[in-house]
Every structure is written in C-alpha cells, then in structure tokens.
Amino acid sequence: MCGIVGYLGPLNPKDVIVGGLKKLEYRGYDSAGVAILDGGLVKRVRAEGKLRNLEAKLAHESFDGHLGIGHTRWATHGVPSERNAHPHQVGGVSLVHNGIIENYLEIKEALLKRGANITSDTDSELVAHLVAEQVKIQKDLLKAVQVVLKELRGAFSILVIWDQQPDRLVAFKDGPPLVIGLGEKQTFVVSDVQAALNYTKKFMYLEDREIALVQGTGVQVFSSAGAPLQKPVVELNWNADQVEKKGYSHYMLKEIYEQPHAVSSAMAPHIDATNQTVRLSKVGFGGAGVTHLESLDAAKDWEQTQKIFASVNRVTIVACGTSYYAGLVGKYLIEALAKIPVEVDVASEFRYRKPVLLKDTLVITVSQSGETADTLAAIRLAKENGLQTLSICNVRNSSIDREAHGHLYMNSGPEVGVASTKAFVSTLAIFNLVATAFGQARGQLSLGQAREQVQALLAVPSQMEVVLAYDKYFADAAEDFKSFKGFLYMGRGVSYPIALEGALKLKELAYLHAEGYAAGEMKHGPLALIDERMAIVMVAPSDDLFEKTVSNLEEAKARGGKIISIGTGENERLKSISERYLGIPKAHWSTNPLLEVVPLQLMAFHLADSLGHDVDQPRNLAKSVTVE
Ligand code: M6R
C-alpha cells in the first residue's frame, strides 16, 4: 500500500511530486510528505492525515533543486502521525518506503547496539539508517543500496536520495511495484503509472531485487549482484484525463456510470463479429510474454488457448475481496457452461493452506490492480507446481500480469475509487466469455448456444444504462437504510456472489454491519438475527430459483424483517412482500449479475455519501493491497 513518487528533471519537483501523490492517494492516506533538494540540502516537509494537509504546509515552501521524493502512507508499523510519516531522514539520506520489512526487529536491535538514534516507530526509518551507515563507508549511494538490499527481507519498494550526490536517485524493490517513467530529459519513479501519465507514456517496470540508478537524464538498472540489465520500455495507451472526475462528485460515481462502457471494452476484443461468437484474442499461453502480446499471430494464439481449455480437467480461481466475488460468479458460469469443476479460493488462504495442486488444473487469478500481494503469491505457487496460469487484470504490465502464462484484460480504464465497481462488471463479462470459450472447446456448447451467450452479453451495456437511469430511486432507497441496525444480503445461484459483493460495498463505504448469505442458508442460523430493525436485501431475479427465493423472503417477513428486493421488471409478487422493490431489465441468467450489482453499488454510494463519509477513500482501506 502507500504511494511513492520520485522525480529528477527540469520541472518544479514540488508540483510534480504533489501532483503524482494526488493520483496515488488511493493507496493510502494516513500521512504524506516530501523531501526535495533546496540550497544543496534536502528539505523535508511532512503532515499527518490526507494530502491536503501537506499541501497546506507546502503552500509557503519553495525549493530550488530538481530532485525529490514523496510519499502517501497507509500505516503498517506505527500509528498515523507526522513522526511516523515518510520521508525518513538520517544524516543526509532521505528515503520513502512502501511495504513491510519483515526482519525489522533484528535490524532495529543491531542498529540500537551501534548507537543509532531511532525517532519513529516505523520499519522504514531503519532502512534509512542502514543506507546512512553505508554511504559513509561506500561514499556512493548506489553501492550503499547494493549492500543494504542484501540485509532486507519482506515486501518493499524504496526510493532514496543523498544530499552528497544531489544528481541521483536510487530505487529498488522486492514485492510492491515500482515503475520508471521516461520523459523528455526527466525521469519519474512511481508506484503506479497514473502518477506520471501527465508527462510520459513510456515506462520501464522494475523487477524484484533490481536496483535502478536515475542520474542526469538517464536510467541504469542493475541486478542485485551489480550486473547491468537491458530493460524493455513499454508504451501505454492510458490517458491522464481518464484519471479525472469529469464533472462527477466522486470517482466512484463516475466509475459506476462508466460500467456500460467498461463491459463493452472488456468484451470487444474477444467477440468474433461475423459469427457472433467468442474468439479470445491474443491470450499468449504460448509463452510470448506480456510485452509481446500485440505481435502474436491471432489464429495460432486462439488455437493454443482452445487446446489448453480442452486439455485441463479443473479450474481454480484465486483472488481477494471484490475480485474473489467475481471469481465466484466465474465458478457458476464455467461449471454450467463447460461442465468442468471449479474451485474458488481467497488468495491469502490458498497460498498458505498447502492446496493439492493437480497438474491438469488451470489457475485463474483475478486482480484489478494486478499488484495484490496474496494473489501474486498464489500465482507464483501455481507456477512453482507446474500449473498453467491465466490472469484477469485491469492494469497491464502489472506484477500479476507479468507473472501469468495467459493474459486477459478487464479494459475498464483506470479505477481510482477504493471500492471496486467497473472492474467487477468487466470481470463478469470476461468470465462469461471464458465460460463460453471453455464450453465450446470441450464440446459442451453448440455454436447456437455460444451465440446465445454472446447475444446476452452484447445486450448488457444498454440494459445497464436502463438501470443507471433509476439512480434517483436507489438514492431514495438508501435513505431507508438509515433506520436499520443490520443488513442481510441474500441471493441464490449466480446471484449469491452478488449478495456478498453488495454486503461488502455497504461495509466498506457506509461502515455498517452487513452479511452476505446464500438465501437457502437462512434457516441454518441467520433467521435468529431477524427483527424489525434488520433489513433483508434480496437479489431475486426471475430465474429457475425464483420460487425458492420468494419462500425465503416470506419466512423473513413473517419474523418481522424488512425486505428490500431486486427483481426482474415489474414483479408484483416481490412488490407485495417488499418495503422497497427495485426492478432491473429482463436478462439472460448468466448476465443478470452484471445488472443486479448496479443498484447495490449505488445504494451503498448514496448512503455513505449522505452519512458524510469519504466515499472514494474509505477509512482504514487502500486500493492496492501490496502487503499481506
Ligand atoms: O486489485 P485487486 O482486484 O486484486 O484487489 C482486491 C481487493 O483488495 C479489492 O477488490 C477490495 O476488496 C476492494 N476494496 C473492494 O471494493
């Protein structure tokens, strides 16, 4: 978590770094700080809380140098406070860090024995001490970092500058991302490309235990053993203005409204317009590597993908949070359409529970950021065990994307709101396509059935526009939520993961207690919770399970529960049982989830907003969870 920005170049570093940190604030907002050259020394300014507090302090500061680093923090070691804010300074060394130093206790003990004056509670300051000790010996920042890196264990990305070598910045990592932006006579080192997109679209991705020396107008990258490396430069097609609010009050609201477009963009590359069927485009299982996907022969690549889909005997989907719930929808779709067993696992459990990994398994990871530490570890584990891996990511060239054998993209555009929305629906679209392709490759779906799936998916963007047009009703419904003490979100079948996702949205945005349940589980415990202050949010589309879902609703109502239901069209039956009824357009069973989730997102958004919460940056959270 945490966002870091480094800059060396002709522009005003204060503006570049603070501008970059604004784009990275989604990664953490407990404190922020900068260290910038001024008068031959490095001047540091830090503030507790959101970036605006730092900006207020910086309003009266100027710097005459052209080198600086900045940080926005999600606290791990040490409470959020100015004392614990980055950059940490020891002697002339200034350092920012994202991640966790796992052997910090050992390092701290050794430093204390050597008489170090430790002034914060962080693990990060300890690294600044180690570098400060080494620059005295090595008389060179790069050499000092090469020595220090050997001592560090954990997950970290670090930028460091030294006032005795004011023309250089050194960056290194093991775990969380670091990307080097290559501009005209200027260089940026950032946690996420969004922080430098205003200046360049050319990026170099640092790999674990590599060290980058940014000096003058150039960058050299070395292995941890000091060998110079040739790194590929990737040109991105994201625009800086995609990261703006464009007139919406919040990023999250803008991203909810972008969902029809996100779904279209996710499916567009993979639909064969002539046959109206699925043809997954340039997945790259053949081993081309993520930077060479564009140059693949599309026909050969598709053949390869189909071969893998036909040859595996099971699928394991691994992800965290909202991406995990998207994976659960994937399970229902792939099992129904391809008749192949699918397991879905939370990445933090998968990586440690010693899973039985059979060779004929395809492991699919889902991650918007492509940087979630547990999901990254899961894909590595799968590869170590010789399994084929396929990643569904939004951020191209992210760590997970780079690790995977095969690659599919959400194509949602940058998602800035901490609560994931458009990446979720894009993933559901991708799972529809994957399930259809799987079904065909395994002879379980006829061409006609595959076409039916594609047609259902093609209808989604306009159906979603209809749902969005009812936003005002969702805002009204959210007002009702204020009178409840708790919420049970329920659904059956493919709508069950949507209930889980709806409950998560309410928890993370409105800070209210909500649980997601399979509706059939009510009698096995949750019914005891029900009284007139408990709301039941039921996702009940007109599908094969509708009658059973209605029975569950009747049971809850008979016990005093207040019902908010989401169903298909004008459903009189649901209306008569519910306090609030919200209709969505009639859709295919496999695409219902893409529509059902929209009212749940909007209700959570409106409730949180009217309670005065920071919807884009909910308390205690960060968008990219790069530590476990
Ligand atoms: O970037 P990822 O998709 O790997 O992130 C996974 C979760 O951290 C993420 O979905 C999280 O649950 C969101 N805050 C949910 O809105």
Q: What is the pLDDT of residue 226?
A: 92
Closest Cα to atom 2 of ligand 1:
367
Mean pLDDT of the chain: 94
E-strand ranges in 335-447 read: 342-346, 361-367, 388-393, 406-409
Q: pTM for the full model?
A: 0.83
- Mean pLDDT, rounded, for 547-558: 91
Q: Is the CB of 348 under 6 A from ligand 1?
A: no
Question: In this predicted structure, which of 125-129, 226-230, 234-238, 380-384 has the lowest mean pLDDT?
Answer: 234-238
Please check the confidence at residue 333 and state whether its pLDDT lies above 90.
yes
CATH superfamily assigned to domain 471-610: Glucose-6-phosphate isomerase like protein; domain 1 (3.40.50.10490)
Residue 245 has pLDDT above 90, yes or no: no
Strand pairing class (202-205; 186-190): unpaired
Query: Which tokens go with 220?
Result: 């050299």
pLDDT, position 25? 87
Mean pLDDT score, 600-621: 93
Identity (one letter) of the amino acid at 197? Answer: L
For residues 318-328, give the mean pLDDT. Answer: 98
User: What is the rounded CA–CA span in Å between residue 390 and residue 224?
Assistant: 29
Q: Say which amino acid occupies 264.
A: S
3-state secondary structure 599-628: HHHHHHHHHHHHCCCCCCCCCCCCCCCCCC
Residue 377 tokens, joined: 């570890």
In this prediction, residue 80 has a pLDDT band, given cuts at 50, 70 and 90, of confident
Residue 528, pLDDT score: 87
243 lines ligand 1 (CB under 6 A): no
Instruction: Identify the CA nearest to 394 among candidates 319, 473, 497.
Output: 319
Per-residue model confidence as pLDDT tens digits over 10-52 = 999 999 999 999 999 888 889 999 999 999 999 999 999 999 9
pLDDT at 149: 97
Flag whether pLDDT at 628 surpasses 80.
no
Cα–Cα distances (Å) from 439 to 300, 311, 364, 436, in that order, read 19, 12, 16, 5
Section 563-589 average pLDDT: 95
Q: What pLDDT band is residue 139 in, cutting at 50, 70 and 90?
A: very high
* Integer Rg of the chain from CA: 25
pLDDT tens digit sequence for 361-375? 999 999 999 999 999
Q: What is the mean pLDDT of residues 548-553?
A: 92
Q: 367: Cβ below 6 Å to ligand 1?
A: yes
Every domain of the chain and the residues it spans: 3-240, 244-468, 471-610
Atom of ligand 1 nearest to the CA of 375: 4
Ligand 1 atom closest to the Cα of residue 372 is: 4
In this model, does residue 563 exceed pLDDT 90? yes
622 C-alpha to ligand 1 centroid (Å): 9
Q: What is the b/e burial string over 133-143, where b = at least 16 CB atoms within 10 angstroms of the residue's CB?
A: bbbeebebbbe
Predicted confidence (pLDDT) per residue in 523-534, tens digit: 898 888 888 889
Count of CA atoms in the C-beta half-sphere (13 A) of 290: 26
82 vs 383: CA distance, rounded Å: 42
Between the CA of 597 and the centroid of ligand 1 the distance, in Å, is: 16
What is the CATH code of the structural domain delimited by 244-468? 3.40.50.10490
3 state SS for 237-267: CCCHHHHCCCCCCCHHHHHHHCHHHHHHHHH
Ligand 1 centre and the CA of 324: distance in Å? 8
Question: Is 586 in a helix, a strand, or coil?
Answer: coil
Strands 168-174 and 211-215: antiparallel
Ligand 1 near 625 CB (within 6 A): yes
Residue nearest to atom 7 of ligand 1 (CA): 321
Annotate 19-37 with DSSP letters as a single string.
HHHHHHGGG--SEEEEEEE
pLDDT at 27: 85
Does 211 contact ligand 1 (Cβ within 6 A)?
A: no
214, 244, 600, 343 alpha-carbon torsion, rounded to 10°: -30
pLDDT at 388: 96
State the distance from the centre of ligand 1 to the C-alpha of 368, rounded, in angstroms: 7
**Cβ–Cβ < 8 Å for 500, 328:** yes
Cβ neighbours of residue 273 closer than 8 Å, sequence gap 6 or more: none
Q: Do domains 3-240 and 471-610 have the same CATH topology?
A: no
| Percent of the chain at pLDDT exceeding 90 | 84
Report the run of H or E that residue 95 belongs to, with start and end. Answer: strand 93-101
Helices (H) and strands (E) in the chain, counts: 20, 27
Q: Using CA atoms, how far apart are residues 454 and 121, in angstroms rounded to an integer?
A: 55
Instruction: Give residue 627's pLDDT band: very low, low, confident or very high (50, 70, 90).
Output: confident
Q: Give the model's pLDDT for residue 26.
A: 84
Lowest pLDDT segment from 235-239, 303-307, 554-558, 585-589: 235-239
CATH 3.40.50.20 given to domain 3-240: no
Q: 255-267 in b/e burial notation, b at 16+ Cβ within 10 A?
A: bbbbbbbbbbbbb
Phi and psi angles of residue 154, each rounded to the nearest 5 degrees, phi first: 130, -150
Query: Is residue 550 within 8 Å of residue 492, measured between CB atoms?
Result: no
Query: What is the mean predicted confidence (pLDDT) over 403-424?
Result: 95
Assign 491 a pLDDT band (cuts: 50, 70, 90): very high
Give the pLDDT score at 309. 97
Q: What are phi and psi of 533, to 5 degrees?
A: -100, 10
CA distance linking residue 162 with residue 164, whole number of Å: 5
User: Is any atom of ligand 1 closer than 6 Å to the C-beta of 12?
Assistant: no
Ligand 1 centroid to 320 CA: how many Å?
6
Cα 608 from Cα 472, distance rounded (Å): 15
For residues 217-235, average pLDDT: 92
Q: Is the CB of residue 604 less than 8 Å from the CB of residue 153?
A: no
DSSP string, 453-488: HHHHHHTHHHHHHHHHHTHHHHHHHHHHHTT-SEEE
464: closest CA among 604, 317, 255, 281?
255
Of all protein residues, the one whose alpha carbon is nearest to atom 10 of ligand 1 is: 322
**Residue located nearest, by CA, to atom 4 of ligand 1:** 367
Residues above pLDDT 70, as percent of the chain = 100
Find out whether the beta carbon of 583 lies less than 6 Å from any atom of ligand 1: no
623 is a catalytic site residue: yes
Ligand 1, atom 16, lies closest to the CA of 419
Per-residue pLDDT tens over the stretch 339-363: 999 999 999 999 999 999 999 999 9
Q: Is 252 in the pocket of ligand 1 (CB under 6 A)?
A: no
